[in-house]
Amino acid sequence: MPELPELEVVCEVLNRRVASQVIERVEVLPPGGAIVVRDYTRQGLAAALEGHRFEAIARRGQFLRFAVAKSPLWLVINPKLTGRLQLATPGDKRYAKTALVLTLADGQELRYVDQKTMGQVYLTARVEEVPGYAGMGPEALEISLAEFKERLRPFRGEIKGILVRSEFVAGIGNAYADEILWAARLHPYRKRTQLTVEEIERLYAAMRATLIDATDKMRVEMGEQIHREPRTFLNVHLRTGEPCPRCGGQISLVSANQRITNFCRTCQPGGLFKGM
């Protein structure tokens, strides 16, 4: 699932290469396009977008928001688990699950590909009506320590589950929650109520450092290939059974609530389950 670091880099590339381009053609491709495209305006994407250009492209949490120039409309993308954007030429082979293609004036195509058709592409005049958008908390890299502590206080559950809740802070998903907690040396199943003041401050510092570092590395590894999700630099996520890069202990795996969690039981002691 693309998270803050990936989407931040995707947004930067799109603003360089797409925002100034007139959209000459819009194709909503079956069968995936009929599932992922949600037209709240009932104008049709082709009628609404052809002949226009995107004025600015921004990231908000795990959404991408495209402002349509000289129009009240927005294109909002929530890629969820498998949605990806791709910049290609018309001659490049289309992936099987390509759902949307925008042909731009310079000849390149912006494609939305979703292997499991789990994401959504919304055309709307009000971004607030996009499900999950209005309820997001502050950006993970824009929140102060004091606000972080204040927003954390009402939650009483497991700390990883809190980190991935967009109403707490926006931009963190499953992968970077694992990385943040590893950096903070906190067990993912520790209850928020068990955390000391020092541990909460360590968590905040780890969140900032992890996301900034990952974004810097993603700029190098992803480059202009925005459909890729290179994560070779991750320390624990999806590294089950490998040695912990900090202590050498074996990285553990817990699969619960349709979520994979990786952590080092040596570096991140505690939790609810014995033997973790």
Task: For the chain, 276 residues long, give each residue's pLDDT as a single digit of tens.
Answer: 899 999 999 999 999 999 989 999 999 999 999 999 999 999 999 999 999 999 999 999 999 999 999 999 999 999 999 999 999 999 999 999 999 999 999 999 999 999 999 999 999 999 999 999 999 999 999 999 999 999 999 999 999 999 999 999 999 999 999 999 999 999 999 999 999 999 999 999 999 999 999 999 999 999 999 999 899 999 999 999 999 999 999 999 999 777 899 999 999 998 654 333
pLDDT at 259: 86
**Extended strands (E) in the chain:** 23-28, 37-39, 54-60, 63-68, 74-78, 83-88, 98-104, 109-114, 120-124, 251-256, 259-264
CA distance linking residue 134 with residue 136, whole number of Å: 6
Q: What are the structure tokens assigned to 264, written together?
A: 């080092």
CA distance linking residue 165 with residue 162, whole number of Å: 5
CA distance linking residue 122 with residue 36, whole number of Å: 8
> Where exactly are the structural domains of the chain?
4-129, 145-264
CB atoms within 10 A of CB 65: 20
φ and ψ at residue 34, rounded to 5 degrees? -65, -25
Q: The domain 145-264: what is its CATH number?
A: 1.10.8.50
Considering the four listed CATH numbers 3.80.30.20, 2.70.170.10, 3.40.190.10, 3.20.190.10, the one that applies to the domain covering 4-129 is 3.20.190.10
- Angle, helices 197-222 vs 174-184, to 10°: value is 130
Contact 20, 55 (CB under 8 A): no
CA distance linking residue 196 with residue 131, whole number of Å: 34
